[in-house]
Structure formats: C-alpha cells, structure tokens
Structure 1
C-alpha cells in the first residue's frame, strides 16, 4: 500500500500555514472546557451513544486479589468478545482500522482481532490532571516545535492545535514518576524461532529524584537507564539517556557501557533511526515506547479524531499462567490473548522533511484520547510502501493511576518478522513504582557500577 503523495503535500502546506501561530497556548475560554465537556486530560467526556461510554473518572477501584506486587489482576476476566475481526469480515470494519491493521489481517490467515466491550479505564493522579489543565494556557512550543517552554510536568497540550502538540503529549505523558521494570524482548525469525533478550529498565522524572534541585539540569525531562540481564553474551551492557525538554537548546544525551570493553562511551546513535538495542535490526531507536525523541525530522499534521479499534485493557496478555512459547508465534504474536476495544483516537501524520534522513518516510499515529498514548503507528518506506505496523497493547496500572503498555509489537510486512517488547509473564518483579533514585544514579560514572557481568 502506497502513501498518498497529495496528502504529504497538503501536510507540508498545512504546516506552513499555521507556522505563524503554532506555538501559542489556548485561551482561558477554551481551557475552561477541561473538566467540563472535556476530561482534565482533554478527551471528550461524552460517549458516542453506542459502543464508547462516557468517561466517569476511570478505573479507581483496585480489583480484589491484587497484591501490590506489579502482577496485575484482570478486572475483566469474565468478559467474552463481542465479535472477532478476521479475513472473513475485515472489509466491514476497515473504516475503524488503520491501513496497517487491515494489511496484517490480509497477510495472515490466522490473524484476528477479538473485540470486547469498551471500558474507559484511563485516568491520572489528581495532581497530574490539575497540572495538565494549568498547562493548557501557559505551555508553548519553542521555535521549530522541537521543545517546550513554561513546562514542568504532566501533559503540555490537552487541547492540541497541531500535530506537533499532539506528539509532545505522547512523549511527555506521565508514567509514574519513578519506575523500574523487568521485561523481555523477542525478534522471532519467519518460522517462529526466537530467543529472549531481558532488560531491567529504570525511568525517573527529574522532579522525582530524591535530591531534586529545580535549578540543576533544568532542561532534563527524565532519566532512563536500561541494563541487559540476559543472554549472557549481552548481559552487563547498559544504556543511559538524559532526555531533554528543549532539544533545540540541547539534544538528548546518551551513553553506553560495553561490558566486554569495560568502557563508557557517548552514544549519539541512540536517536532517530539508529539501531534499537539488541533488536536484530527490527526497530529503530525512536520506535521504543512506540515513538520517542526529537520530532525535528518530520512535518506533523493533525488530521483530526476518529473512532478506531485499538488494543486496550490488555490484562489477559500479562497472565502469569502464559508462557512465552504460547505468546510468540510465527509472523505475529498469538492473537488469542489480545483484546481490542473501540476508542476515539487522534490521527497524526508525520512526513519526512525534504532535507532530512530517516528510514521511515511517513508515519501515521493513532493516539488514544484518554491517555495520550500512541496505540497504533503505520510506517511507510521511502518508496511509499506500507512497511511496518506497530501496536501498543494498552493497560491501566490501577494502583498507580498510570496508563502504559503491557506490550509493544512492531510487525514487518515485507520480511514477515516482528519484534515484541515488554514481555513480563516469566519475569520476576515485572513493575516496581516509587523506586528511590538520586541524580548520582544517572551519571556516566554510574554506568560502570551497573554494568557487571
């Protein structure tokens, strides 16, 4: 499937037309909708009168049986699919799917999408929602849109005026302040053979450091550290990232510790289409977390909002009774353990600037309105062909009031291979929120201490 060249041209034209006023915050009158007709995060409160219910505050009651151990009980375990989308009926539902989702169904005869009742579980801590509403009238994009000003925390643009603002909402979304997780990544061959690369990730927003100083490193959004724990040939390698808010003022800082060489080096390749860590060429650096990093290589167009079937409330996929062998199959993950619901999403199109380089010439983002999480992304190559299809299997971490991902998948339509990142079924202590970290834990010197073999 080829991308539409006319739409690319219109996106560039649209970007130039709003360039003069793209960086302004919304008016107080417009912001007054937040908490009224809109949720504090900017979603429509009302339902659609059919499958999508009104937002009633999200899932605020912790299900019985949850032990607070990061192993999440499924609050909807007794529900059955309303229907299943497959090759026999995909045309009937194509208007509520992305081109990439349709392509996956058409490519694989066993690929299906079980559709369940919609639950708008997503919400955030009250202080995050309060800060988001305050951001609406004060946060602005810096020149070129590659950073934020007047920003501290929470979602910067709950009422987005353009595609750049919408993508910054995804990049900056709240993920718990300070969290550690143990997850697996697989890149199966075309016949389904695979090995698991295991990571211990840490993510800490600057304001959540135990020694937080508002005057120190003020341009840092968050700190990220990723250590490989298996297999043994890779164990001990560590990545450190300082993600900046204003990337015009200062680009992302990144370092890697190579356990074999026992050396720490700067890592400018950890950005854009640099190779993803231990991904066998199956993802770029900016495919992590569905999309991350500086948006300066693309023109961004906000195409509006639509109703779409996206992975949601994916607790079934994290079941501890499931093994990786049951989940990982040839061509795609086992769709028996997935759950799709009808939600409203923002459609954002990114087209590569004429003077920029990236392996993806166009990316179409479908961003959940309740959580600002990119939930589906279609990727096109330089020839205009649909190449890779990413899905985020959204899950609400109800004890922390944090929407996040149970799993990210990136399917290559050309090679028949895929990447799945975020597997926790066989991992000890999959998620730990509220971990205490200081600025000393995120220095290059700390890499060598973390990188032991």
Structure 2
C-alpha cells in the first residue's frame, strides 16, 4: 500500500482555517505533562486516592513476552491475565451500594434482571501502551490541533488522538478524540450478529467487513491530514434474504465541508447505486433494525443532529481487558443467555471515564433523543452508552468489550451488547467466538482502490 497515488490524493489535502471560531490549543508547558503526570493519551497516570484505580504502568507494547500469539493472521485474543479472578461481584442484592459508580443503564439492568444480571469486578490493569511515534504525534497535536467549523473539523491534526489534553468544557474536543482514536489502520473480519428475543430465540445476521483507517496508516502518521478519514466495505452474508447486498463508504475528516458517501450493490437488480444518505438512524445491516448505523462503536459519523455537552471525568465500572469473552472455546449457546450475555464471561474494572452527552436538536429527527457515552480515559474509546427515546425515557443500555490488540498495538472493539430495556431483547454484535478467524488487524494489504464503486461492482459479481 506504500506510496499509493490514490491514497495520497484522498489524504493529503490538509484542512485550512476559514472560520473565525478556532478553539485554543494547549501551551508547550501543558503538553510537557504528557508522558509524565499524564499518559501520552492524556489520562491521569496516578491511581485514585483509595487505590481502587491503579497507577498506569504501560509496561507492555504489543505482545507481552509470556503470551503466545501470531500477529496479523486473525488469531483469537489471548488473555495476558489468565490467573485473574473477580475481586467481587455486583449483583441484584448489592448494586445500590455501588450506585455512584454505575451508569443509569447499568442500574436499569439490575432493576430489570435482579436475579441474573451481574458485573464481575476485577483488579484494574493499565499495562499496555502505544508506540513511541504515536505518543510523539499526540504531543504534537496537543500544541497544534484546533477545532474549526463549529467543532466539526480541525486543523493542525497529524493522526491519532487530536486533543490529548482537551478543554474539560469542550464536548466537541472530547467527541473528536472518540471519533479519531489511535486504532488498527486495516481490518478484515467476519462478524456474527445475534438478535436475541426475550424468550431466548435468536435471529442471526452475519457480515464480512473490511476497513482502511487513513490517519493511522504508517505512511501518514505525523503528517497534516484532511480529506477522507476512513474507507469501508460491508457485505451481508446472513440473513439469507439479504445475502449479497454490499456497501462501500467513505468517511470525511470534516462533516461541515463533506459528507459520508456510500454506494450499495443490490443482488436483485445487480446494480451499484449511490445512496442519498448513509448514517444516523439508518438500520445497521444484519441487526433486524435494532441498531442504527451511528450506534456502531456507540457513536460514529456526523455529530450534527445533536447538541453535545460534557459532564467531565467520573469513576465508573466499565468492561476492560475483555479477553475471556473472546476465547475460541466460548460457544454462542453458552454466551447468549436470556435478556443479556452470560455475566461470568465479562470483566469489569473501575476506570476513569469522560462522560459525553448528546441531545437531539429540535430541527432533526432520530430514533434516539438523547445518548450518554462513557469514554475510557486510557484509550478515548466509548465503552458504554445509555440511549433515550424522544420522550427522554431510557430505552437501551449498550457496552463494548474492548481489548488491547497485539497486532495493532492499540485497543480494539470486540463483541458488544445492546439491551432493549422495554422488551427484554438484546443484540450481540461483532461476535467472532465461533468464527475460524478473529479480526485480522494491520495486515496492511488494503488500499484505497479496494473501496470504490468499481471495486464494489467487481466483488459483487
């Protein structure tokens, strides 16, 4: 993929400041805290006062020496903490005493399923770090990156996290960090999707997905960025009635100036056509309409339909170091229990998170009237989101099981679960436990020309 002319064309067109509302970057003195009292992503390096959150160690980059793992071939994640046991379990009998460190959605899960929903809490582990070049890039971003176009774009950005030391009052800087974290630059995965009804019946979806993340490509990190942020391809394998449907899409860096573009192949007509709109509350393929496109990774795409505010940092029990749930010996029949996935396969830790809330603007429509996201300070990935309908009633609790991917030297979104709090059903998304291969990360064999309408036409015939 190196020196790809098309990649360069898509990527290098750097943004320039044309609006008068650029937001301030931090001083060199503030940026010097990165790698010291702050980690290079801007997380507080120290533990908390009572010792329930540990200090950051960052002792491992990539695969630890004691882990046997083959890189870039789709091996299932290997647990670096195989001997860890839960320190305690939060359940229907004791959850109220932990309420200060639980989200509204977690509390609702305990109230709705007091006899079965549990959260096994483990010792906190903050042992993985990012490559030096990524940390150096984030430090440069801290003193050069600025929001423009009312927070929909930025200038001075050079890859990875744009605002490692965000203005605590700037929801758009925090949202930008979620949208542009450091993560795998190529991925290929076949994911299973389980729509689990309240009585345990399962409707299955399956999708083949590829992706190319341009700011994190090794050829581009450290250079000014603009134009296209990400390219993706998704083909439906299940349900059978939709088999063969496929889409390629292009994600812009700045949603004030560009829009997400997508082309769809319909096997019935055998034609490729551009979609007039792709994103927001469009149903996500294979989820029986239960998930929206913009709820993948809990929030993605243009932020334009919501008014965003931040509630600062909080200490919350979140899924972390989620290796156990992704083992190849985990069977779906064991994992997908009624009303929620099997609690014993989850791992929760007390972590500091940034809390971000979006409220639907009056002039827009969306399935969700409000969404509250919890972003792990060590990675900037949203790990939990509570969704409210347009009457402001809590209707869905969702979480993603992130793990550190040795292939990518970054954190990777694993299996996620979206719980319908009104019907008792839920969707298990991005399941790969029973697939021969886990996600193949950073193999580096995808190029921009793999994601064009012409490529979609070739692959679909």
TM-score by length of 2: 0.89
- Other-structure match for 1:176: 184
- Other-structure match for 1:448: 457
TM-score by length of 1: 0.91
1:233 alignment partner, SS class: helix
Distance 1:63 1:383 in 2: 51
Work out whether residues 184 and 197 of structure 1, in 8 Å CA contact, stay in contact via their aligned partners in 2: yes
The equivalences for 1:90-129 within 5 A come to 90-108=95-113, 109-129=115-135
Q: CA offsets per residue over residues 381-408 of structure 1, 9 Å max, x none?
A: 1111111111111111124211012211
- Other-structure match for 2:410: 402
Distance 1:234 1:121, change over 3 A: farther
Q: CA offsets per residue over residues 274-325 of structure 1, 9 Å max, x none?
A: 1111211211110012210011111111211011100011110011111111
The equivalences for 1:124-273 within 5 A come to 124-161=130-167, 162-206=170-214, 218-273=226-281
Q: More displaced, 200-209 or 81-90?
A: 200-209
Distance 2:218 2:414 in 1: 28
1:155 alignment partner, SS class: coil
- Other-structure match for 1:276: 284
Distance 1:20 1:93 in 2: 45
Q: More displaced, 350-359 or 387-396?
A: 350-359
Shift of 1:218: 4.3
Distance 2:151 2:365 in 1: 18
- Other-structure match for 1:379: 387
1:331 and 2:334 correspond:
no
Distance 1:258 1:39 in 2: 47
- Other-structure match for 2:27: 27
Following TM superposition, the consecutive aligned residue runs of length 4 or more in structure 1 with deviations greater than 6 angstroms are: 19-22, 208-212
The equivalences for 1:317-396 within 5 A come to 317-396=325-404
Shift of 1:23: 2.1
Out of 53, 65, 68, the position equivalent to 2:68 is: 65
Alpha-carbon RMSD: 2.4
- Other-structure match for 1:291: 299
Q: More displaced, 153-162 or 425-434?
A: 425-434
1:46 and 2:54 correspond:
no
Work out whether residues 315 and 353 of structure 2, in 8 Å CA contact, stay in contact via their aligned partners in 1: yes
Q: More displaced, 65-74 or 294-303?
A: 65-74
Structure 1 portions without partners, runs of 5+? 1-18
Structure 2 portions without partners, runs of 5+? 1-18
Work out whether residues 123 and 371 of structure 1, in 8 Å CA contact, stay in contact via their aligned partners in 2: no
Shift of 1:66: 2.1
- Other-structure match for 2:3: none
- Other-structure match for 2:445: 436
- Alignment size in residue pairs: 434
Work out whether residues 121 and 396 of structure 1, in 8 Å CA contact, stay in contact via their aligned partners in 2: no
Distance 1:100 1:209, change over 3 A: closer
Distance 1:178 1:418, change over 3 A: same
Distance 1:86 1:147, change over 3 A: same
Work out whether residues 264 and 444 of structure 1, in 8 Å CA contact, stay in contact via their aligned partners in 2: yes
